[in-house]
Structure 1
Amino acid sequence: MNDIIIGYDAKRIVRNSTGLGNYSRNLVNALSAIVPAGIQLRLYAPDEGSAELRSQVLSRPNVSFAFPRGIQYPFRGDLWRSRLVVGDLLRDGVQLYHGLSGRLPSGLKRAGISSVVTIHDLIFLRYPEYYHWLDAKIYKHQFYRTLQQADRVIAISECTKRDILHYSDFPASKIDVIYQSASTEFKMRCTPSHIAQVRQRYHLPHNYVLNVGTIEQRKNVLLAVKALKMLPADLHIVIVGKSTPYAAAVRRWAAAHGLDSRVHMLSHVPNSDLLAIYAQARCFVYPSRYEGFGIPIIEAIQSGLPVIGATGSCLEEAGGPSCIYVDPDDVPSMAQAIDSLLTDPDKTALSVAQAQEWVKRFENADVASQVLAVYRKLLH
C-alpha cells in the first residue's frame, strides 16, 4: 500500500520567523512525531526562503520540502502557491492539503484533493481601515475563495470561529476550534546578574508597565500611554516591538503631553533579553482592539506578570477570568486597572497564580493530536 501524503502550504515556514511561521513549524514538528507509519508530510514552499528557518523543521524521514519546478519568473511563487501547486499535488499523489495560514489554492476540489485550512483571524474584515484598501480587498477575496475550496476549517479561537460564521455561510459543523500551543520558554527565570545587565543595556526605568507586540494602531498601546497621566509620575511604560508609523504618533502624543521621558520603545530585542524585561515589569498591558488569539498575554502570565487586556476579541480566552479587561477606548479604566494591580499586592499575586493555572491548558494542549483527528475525518 502506498504512503498517504499530506501536503502543507509552507510559505510561512520558510519566510516568517515569528507568528504564522512559529505556528506552522511547531505544528509540523509535532505532527511528524506522532503520525502513524505510512504518512508522509510534504511542505510546499514557493521558494527556499531562509535556510535558518528551514533548519527549524526537524529532520525526520516522514518530512520533506517541495519547491516549484521549471523556469523562474517574477511572481511565479505567488501564482504557484495560489493555483499551480495543485498540479504538483496531483503529480505527487497528495490526498490531503492543509493551508496553515488562511489560504488554499484554487482547483483543489476539482482535483479531488481534500483540504483543511487554519484561519487565525479576520482583522481585514473586522477592521479594514487598518489596511491599504487594495490589500483588504485582496485578503477578502482570498478568504471567500479559500472557503469555497475548504472541506474543513480550523479556527484558533472561539472568537475567530464566531467571525467566520458572521462573515460567511460556512457550516459551523465543519469548523474545529483548536487553540495554538504556547511555548513554555517564558516560564524560565533569569539570574539577577542577567537582569542587571539587561536593565543597563536598554536603560530601563526602575518602575514600569510593559507592552510587547508590533507597535501598530490595532494594538492600541496609546491607551496605556494616555493612562500614565493619571498614574504616579515615577511610573513608566516600556514598549517592545517592531516600529511602524503609529509608533511615531504615540511618541508625538507623549511629547505633547509631557510624557516623553516616561515612554520607552525598544525593538529587535532577543528573547533571552525579553525574559529579563518581563522579569522587571510591574504588570503587562495589552489593550489590542482585535487578536486572533493573544499569545503575548500567555507569555506575560508565564513570566509571572498580572495582565490587563482589552475587551472585544479573544483576549479573555487567552488570559482567563483572573486577568483584568477594559474597554479599548476607556483611558480612566485602564489607569484604574493599573493602579489596582500596583497597590494591592496580595490580590495581584492571587490573580497571577490563578492565571498561571488557566494557561496550562495551552501549554499542555496536544494540538498535533487534535489536528490529526481533523485529518482522520477527511482521509478515507
Structure 2
Amino acid sequence: MKADSKIKNKKAESTELDQSSFGLSALSFKFKIGFDGKRAANNLTGLGNYSRSLIEQLARQFPENKYFVYSPKVKSSKQIDTFFEQENIQLKLPSKSNFLWRSLNILKDLKHDGIQLFHGLSHEIPFSIQKTEIKSIVTIHDLIFLRFPKYYKFIDRKLYKWKSQSACNHADKIIAISEKTKADIVKFYKINPKKIEVIYQTCDDSFKTFLDQSVLDKIRLNYKLPEKYILNVGTIEERKNLKLIVQALKTVNEDYKLVVIGKQTPYFKSVEDEIEKLGLKNRILFLKNIPFADLPGIYQLATVFVYPSFYEGFGIPIIEALYSGIPTIAATGSCLEEAGGPTSIYISPVDSPSLSSAINQVLESPALQAEMKRKGLEFVQKFDSPVVTKQLMDCYINILR
C-alpha cells in the first residue's frame, strides 16, 4: 500500500475510546497518549529509531491504551509504514499545512482527540500546553549545544535553548536519558531535581537476537567485510571523535581493519587527511546508507566496538554493541560509563596511545573478550525493553493520577 493511502486510512480511523473505565491500577487504565512524532514519522536513524521503538514497546506492552503520533508530514519507507500498521498507533497529520502547527496550533488537535498526556520525545512540547488540562512530559536527551557550543551555529544554539528550557519549565515532568543529562538540566536550567526522572533508553529488539551463521556469512559477503575488524557506528562529526580511532589504529594489530558506519559531515575531510597521513587507507572501510535490518549482523561479526565520543547524552550504539555480545571501549567525560557498565573499558577521548593499548589488550586476550561479552550482556539487561517501558508507563500513570 502506498504511503498516501496509508495516511488517508489512518486519518479516517475513529479516535474514540471509552474514557469511563479509568482506574488506578495499570491494567484498568485506558489512556489517550499523544507524541511529538516528527522524527518517528520521518527519520530513519537516531531519534527516529528511538521514537518508533519507544512507542512500539508501549503499544505492545500496554495495548489497552491508544497512542497518537502527531507529525506535520510522513515519509514513505518500510520502517515507517510498518510502524503505523499497528492497530493502537495512529498517525495524526494537520488538516492544513502550517509551520506553527507543532509548536502552537497542535493544541486544537490534542483537545479534539481527547489527549490526556502529551510526550515531547525530543526537547520540546507545544507552547502554552500548561494552560490546558493536558498533562505533558518532555524527554531531554542531552544539552550538548550548551556543553560544546562550538559544534553549533549561533542561531541553532539560541533556538535549541529557548525550546528546551521552555519545555523544562512548563512540562509536568522531565525525563532525562542519563544521570549526566539530569545533572546538566539542573546545572544549566536551574530545574528542581525532583521534577526530573532518569529513564534509560534501550535499543531496537533486533540487536537482542543472535543471527545464524549463514545469515552472518551473507552479510559479510554482501558488504565485503574483513575477516577481523574493529567497529565504529555513528555520524562522522567532530564530537564523535573518529580521528582518535584512526590515530590509534596505526599501532593496533595489523590483522584487524576498521569498519566505520555513519553519515559523513564536513569533518570527514579531516579524517581522510589523517588516514592519508598515516598511510591507513587499506585498513579502513567506510559504509553508509546501510539498511537497518543488516546492522545487528555487522555488529555481531565485529571483534570489538570502539566509541570514543567526547560527549553523549547516553550512547545507544554502546547498548547495541553489548546486546550483540561485542567487547566495548568508550571514552570518559560524559555518560558512556552509564551505558557501558563496569566491565567495558574507558579511555580519555584525547589519548590515542591509551586507546591503541586498550584495543590491543582486548584483541590479544580471548579470555578478556569472553569475560567482557558475558558481563556486558548481563549488565545491559537493565536497559531491556520491558524494564524501561514499565518505568515509562509508571511515570505516565503517576502524572495522570
- Residue 5 of structure 1 pairs with residue 22 of structure 2: no
Closer/same/farther in 2, CA of residues 306 and 68 from structure 1, 3 Å limit = same
Q: Which residue number in structure 1 is paired with residue 59 of structure 2?
A: 32
Separation in structure 2 between the aligned mates of residue 34 and residue 196 of structure 1, nearest angstrom: 34
Q: Is the 8 A contact 2:124 2:163 kept in 1?
A: yes
- AA aligned opposite 2:86: S
Separation in structure 1 between the aligned mates of residue 292 and residue 59 of structure 2, nearest angstrom: 26
Q: Is the 8 A contact 1:81 1:105 kept in 2?
A: yes
- Residue 44 of structure 1 pairs with residue 70 of structure 2: yes
Aligned match for 2:202, one of 177, 181, 200: 181
Q: Which residue number in structure 1 is paired with residue 44 of structure 2?
A: 17
Separation in structure 1 between the aligned mates of residue 339 and residue 43 of structure 2, nearest angstrom: 23
Closer/same/farther in 2, CA of residues 174 and 80 from structure 1, 3 Å limit = same
Separation in structure 1 between the aligned mates of residue 293 and residue 115 of structure 2, nearest angstrom: 40
- Residue 324 of structure 1 pairs with residue 350 of structure 2: no
Separation in structure 1 between the aligned mates of residue 377 and residue 253 of structure 2, nearest angstrom: 28
Separation in structure 2 between the aligned mates of residue 64 and residue 187 of structure 1, nearest angstrom: 27
Aligned match for 1:223, one of 223, 239, 244: 244
Q: How far is 1:118 from its partner?
A: 1.2
Separation in structure 2 between the aligned mates of residue 187 and residue 353 of structure 1, nearest angstrom: 14
- Residue 64 of structure 1 pairs with residue 90 of structure 2: yes
- AA aligned opposite 2:109: D
Q: Is the 8 A contact 1:218 1:290 kept in 2?
A: yes
For the residue of structure 2 that corresponds to 1:144, the secondary structure is helix
- Residue 285 of structure 1 pairs with residue 311 of structure 2: no
Q: Is the 8 A contact 1:27 1:367 kept in 2?
A: no
- AA aligned opposite 1:235: Y
> Normalising to structure 1: TM-score of the pair?
0.91
- Residue 157 of structure 1 pairs with residue 174 of structure 2: no
Separation in structure 2 between the aligned mates of residue 25 and residue 196 of structure 1, nearest angstrom: 29
> Residue by residue, what CA displacement relative to the aligned partner does 1:242-272 show, whole Å, maximum 9, x if unpaired?
1222222211111022122222211122245
Q: Which residue number in structure 2 is paired with residue 358 of structure 1?
A: 379
Separation in structure 2 between the aligned mates of residue 28 and residue 200 of structure 1, nearest angstrom: 34
Closer/same/farther in 2, CA of residues 48 and 341 from structure 1, 3 Å limit = closer
The root-mean-square deviation of aligned C-alpha atoms, in Å, is 2.2
Separation in structure 2 between the aligned mates of residue 27 and residue 64 of structure 1, nearest angstrom: 14
Q: Which residue number in structure 2 is paired with residue 136 of structure 1?
A: 157
| Larger displacement relative to structure 2 (132-141 or 231-240) | 231-240
- Residue 236 of structure 1 pairs with residue 257 of structure 2: yes
| Larger displacement relative to structure 2 (297-306 or 201-210) | 201-210
Q: How far is 1:54 from its partner?
A: 4.3
Residue pairs, 1:267-282, within 5 angstroms = 267-282=288-303
For the residue of structure 1 that corresponds to 2:175, the secondary structure is strand
Q: Is the 8 A contact 2:50 2:203 kept in 1?
A: no
- Residue 255 of structure 1 pairs with residue 276 of structure 2: yes
Q: Is the 8 A contact 2:239 2:310 kept in 1?
A: yes
Separation in structure 2 between the aligned mates of residue 202 and residue 40 of structure 1, nearest angstrom: 41
Separation in structure 2 between the aligned mates of residue 34 and residue 178 of structure 1, nearest angstrom: 17
Q: Which residue number in structure 2 is paired with residue 308 of structure 1?
A: 329
- Residue 110 of structure 1 pairs with residue 136 of structure 2: no
Q: How far is 1:358 from its partner?
A: 0.4
Q: Is the 8 A contact 1:154 1:177 kept in 2?
A: yes
Unaligned runs of 5+ in 2: 1-17, 21-30
- Percent identity, aligned pairs only, is 44
For the residue of structure 2 that corresponds to 1:376, the secondary structure is helix
> Residue by residue, what CA displacement relative to the aligned partner does 1:125-147 show, whole Å, maximum 9, x if unpaired?
11121122221221111111212
Q: Which residue number in structure 1 is paired with residue 25 of structure 2?
A: none
Q: How far is 1:148 from its partner?
A: 2.5
Q: How far is 1:283 from its partner?
A: 1.1
- AA aligned opposite 1:359: V
Closer/same/farther in 2, CA of residues 321 and 49 from structure 1, 3 Å limit = same
Residue pairs, 1:330-345, within 5 angstroms = 330-345=351-366
Q: How far is 1:35 from its partner?
A: 4.1
Aligned match for 1:295, one of 316, 334, 347: 316
- AA aligned opposite 1:28: I
| Larger displacement relative to structure 2 (202-211 or 14-23) | 202-211
Q: How far is 1:276 from its partner?
A: 3.8
Unaligned runs of 5+ in 1: none
Q: How far is 1:325 from its partner?
A: 0.4
For the residue of structure 2 that corresponds to 1:265, the secondary structure is strand
Separation in structure 2 between the aligned mates of residue 211 and residue 46 of structure 1, nearest angstrom: 33
> Normalising to structure 2: TM-score of the pair?
0.86
Q: Give the count of matched residue pairs.
A: 373
Separation in structure 2 between the aligned mates of residue 276 and residue 254 of structure 1, nearest angstrom: 26
For the residue of structure 1 that corresponds to 2:250, the secondary structure is helix
Separation in structure 2 between the aligned mates of residue 197 and residue 42 of structure 1, nearest angstrom: 38
